[in-house]
């Protein structure tokens, strides 16, 4: 179905919010819109809601399977505004968000549905799940000047690190079970990226509840949702394989002419399989086997 704006969706499309998990895909440009949607449909989200400008089109095989909401992130619309509206409309429902040209991976996702994974997460008394946004980039920028290629996708196999997340309200003491994670293209090309946008951690999946909101920094208002694990053991984490940073660096006039390739000695071809991400330590299964 198609909706003229967010208000129209909340009025006529509430059936899509009755049962989770639901996926929200926010479209910024025309890169890999359809492959992003297909990837998340294959993971068996109960509903996929696509927020995108009217000027962009969808392939016929996905258009009838999603709820399309007219939304323009390049204009006045913002991602937190939409996410907060969906949270308020669907308390108790698990939800996930990403941008186009981003692809969710979680441990064993090739054989287990996202619903099965989140059921386990909820049994662990966790209402949110940390994901690492892992930068993808085309190996050959001459063939793919926008840095996007599913067939020639690469990632950094090392160069990731974490720092304590300081609490300004408590004399900059580290927050409990919260870390800021860095790495990938945002680390290697940090001089071209504003400091607040260099982190690669994202609470990409969470269970909505009354009063919960997403802040402008994309963290959530309940601090427990922003933690990487519960106090008693490690929990599941996920990865979002993303071309978004590579696209931005090649689109930005201040960096595009200085970047002839994103490949370096720590690049390796992306295999589009959760095992690679587990082997590289870019997500972990916790107690889920």
Cβ neighbour number for residue 193 with a 10 Å cutoff: 18
pLDDT at 244: 97
Six-digit token string for 248? 């931005």
Report, as an integer, the average pLDDT of 203-231. Answer: 95
pLDDT at 232: 85
Between CA 210 and CA 218 the distance in angstroms is 18
pLDDT at 289 exceeding the cut of 80: no
pLDDT at 169 exceeding the cut of 90: no
Q: Residue 101: phi, psi to the nearest 5?
A: 65, 30
More confident residue, 20 or 151: 151
User: In a 10 Å sphere around its CB, with 0-12 CB exposed, 13-18 middle and 19+ buried, how is residue 29 labelled?
Assistant: buried
Nearest CA to 85 among 129, 51, 54? 51
Report, as an integer, the average pLDDT of 40-50. Answer: 97
Between CA 282 and CA 159 the distance in angstroms is 11
pLDDT tens per residue, range 66-111: 999 999 998 888 999 999 999 999 999 999 999 999 999 999 999 9
User: In a 10 Å sphere around its CB, with 0-12 CB exposed, 13-18 middle and 19+ buried, how is residue 123 labelled?
Assistant: exposed
Report, as an integer, the average pLDDT of 183-191. Answer: 97
For residue 164, the surrounding DSSP H or E stretch is strand 161-167
Predicted confidence band of residue 197 (pLDDT cuts 50, 70, 90): very high
The pTM of the full predicted model, rounded to 2 decimals, is 0.96
Q: Residue 17: phi, psi to the nearest 5?
A: -105, 5
Query: CB-hemisphere CA count at 13 Å for 187?
Result: 18
pLDDT at 233: 83
pLDDT at 152: 97
Whole-angstrom CA distances from 145 to 101, 189, 196 are: 15, 17, 26
Between CA 45 and CA 2 the distance in angstroms is 18
pLDDT at 129: 96
Pairing of strands 153-156, 94-99: unpaired
* DSSP conformation class of 5: S
Per the CB < 8 A criterion, the answer to whether 175 and 59 are in contact is no
Mean pLDDT over the full length of the chain? 95
| Distance from the Cα of residue 105 to its chain's centroid | 10
pLDDT at 167 exceeding the cut of 90: no
pLDDT at 74: 87
């Amino acid at each position: 179905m198609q909706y003229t704006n967010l208000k129209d969706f909340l009025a006529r499309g509430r059936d899509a919010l009755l049962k989770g998990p639901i996926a929200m895909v926010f479209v910024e440009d025309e890169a890999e819109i359809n492959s992003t949607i297909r990837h998340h449909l294959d993971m068996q989200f109960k509903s996929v809601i696509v927020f995108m400008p009217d000027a962009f089109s969808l392939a016929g095989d996905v258009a009838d399977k999603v709820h399309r909401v007219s939304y323009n992130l390049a204009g006045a619309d913002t991602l937190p505004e939409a996410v907060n509206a969906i949270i308020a409309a669907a308390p108790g429902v698990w939800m996930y968000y990403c941008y186009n040209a981003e692809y969710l991976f979680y441990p064993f996702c090739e054989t287990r549905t996202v619903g099965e994974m989140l059921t386990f997460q909820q049994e662990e008394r966790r209402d949110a799940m940390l994901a690492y946004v892992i930068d993808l980039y085309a190996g050959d920028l001459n063939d793919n000047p926008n840095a996007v290629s599913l067939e020639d996708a690469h990632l950094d196999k090392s160069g990731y690190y974490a720092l304590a997340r300081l609490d300004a309200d408590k004399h900059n003491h580290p927050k409990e079970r919260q870390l800021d994670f860095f790495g990938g293209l945002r680390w290697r090309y940090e001089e071209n990226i504003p400091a607040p946008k260099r982190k690669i951690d994202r609470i990409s999946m969470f269970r909505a509840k009354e009063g919960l909101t997403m802040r402008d920094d994309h963290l959530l208002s309940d601090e427990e949702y922003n933690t990487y694990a519960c106090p008693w053991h490690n929990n599941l984490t996920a990865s979002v394989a993303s071309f978004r940073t590579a696209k931005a660096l090649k689109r930005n006039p201040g960096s595009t002419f200085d970047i002839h390739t994103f490949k370096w000695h720590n690049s390796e071809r992306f295999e589009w399989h959760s095992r690679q991400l587990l082997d590289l330590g870019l997500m972990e299964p916790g107690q889920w086997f």
